[in-house]
Structure 1
Amino acid sequence: MLGIRAPTLRTWEDRYDVVVPERSPGGHRLYTRPQLEQLRFLRDSIGAGLSPADAHRALRERLHAGVALHDIDRPVKLTTLLILLAEQDRFAADFAEYFLRTEGYDVVLVADADDALVQMEGKAPDLAVIDLLISGGRGLQLCTYLRRYFDAPILAISTLELRDEALAAGASAFLHKPLESLQLVATIEDLLGRSGLLRRRVEE
């Protein structure tokens, strides 16, 4: 269909849950005309260089915003969201960074609280993930400072049960470590107020 192989369609449906057709009594996929346009958008976006994950996020955002898929009067520029990951555990940091990048985010990784402040001021990330035990347990203090001086949402993480303390210190949400990758992404998407990881700007 549209030059997209059936196994690819199944993979997209199962993994991204964006274009989900009805099923015939015999189990065949029945795509509506709008869904065919959505598949065409995905095919063309991937052909232009986007990953399947990024193409689906772009589609999801357009559908959510009610933007036409081929609206030539409103060209769209996609820019990747930036996440500050302040994590003292190098193994956990590498895992989280790898997974977030595969999901389409840009990531700036730091291992101490002072560097986190420098990166917040210099790069203005869209969201900060803060290990509360960073720099000898300065994570709560860091959350308080970031909430006071920056607008980006804060996701606090810790091996300790510090949910109440984190929220009181200004964190927007808390996750207990070790992190589950899908839960991490879902929480970040909720905090960003988007179902996808790409900002959409209408070019002037």
Structure 2
Amino acid sequence: MDCNEKRYAIREIADLTGIKPVTLRAWQRRYNLVQPLRTEKGHRLYTADDLEKIKTIQSWLNKGVSIGKVKSLLESEVVSSAVEDANQLEEVSDILDALADLDGGKTDRLIAMVLKEYPLIIVESKFVIPILGAIQFLKLGPRTLQFALFKTMFIKHLTLMVTSESKRGHRLDKLMVNLDEAGNIYAWLYYAQLIEQGESVVFLDGVEETSALFTDVTQYQTIYVFAQKSLPEKQLDTIVEAQQREGNNIRVSPVIAHLMDVRKGAVS
């Protein structure tokens, strides 16, 4: 191996790929997918080939392939070319069974495993969305209980992940405000993805009144505003005015961005 070849620390790989270090370590220890070099002090060093392999792994995960099957796909072009995109991870059926039995222990273990082994963007699209979609079709009684169990366990583990990933000693210079009801799973995922990307964020959950939001929090560099529902005109006006005034310092979730586009179109 060329001694002049570029080597990457695990945090650099995380920044380049969006795969958090705990997930990279899990891929190595549990599945032997990527074996980085080690410094004398034991720190991982990844090569350009490792980086490309990680990007390939990401592409399979984006297709809904379970992490446990990725190694065989990497080793066999014949198998890999035949794989169809899947709408969900294989772990979805396991957790739906656990939820149906109201098995808190199994639900807890499965969520912990999925959050450790997959990037959050995959967790949201191939795990959370299919699970919540399946629960929605249940009768009211089972639906309420299973949703409560999933939500409680999922937010618990997101909280643990955020606590672990947050950079200690860094000034919390960004603010995220959830305008939906407190405990919205997608708001928590949005927050956790900001942390996964290395942001230092204060999270305000379930904020109803926004009149003072953009005047009383001037100590924050950036304000992220999240909602999945339609917003009152007055609230939307406040966000639009703040973004016109502050520009890129006010960032909004996709639903709010859509509402703003619709409003702009109606005005024009």
Q: TM-score range by the shorter chain?
A: 0.3 to 0.5
The two structures have a TM-score, normalised by structure 2, of 0.31
Structure with higher helix content: 2
Bigger-Rg structure (1/2): 2
The two structures have a TM-score, normalised by structure 1, of 0.39
Larger relative contact order (CA 8 Å, sep ≥ 6): 1
Structure with higher strand content: 1
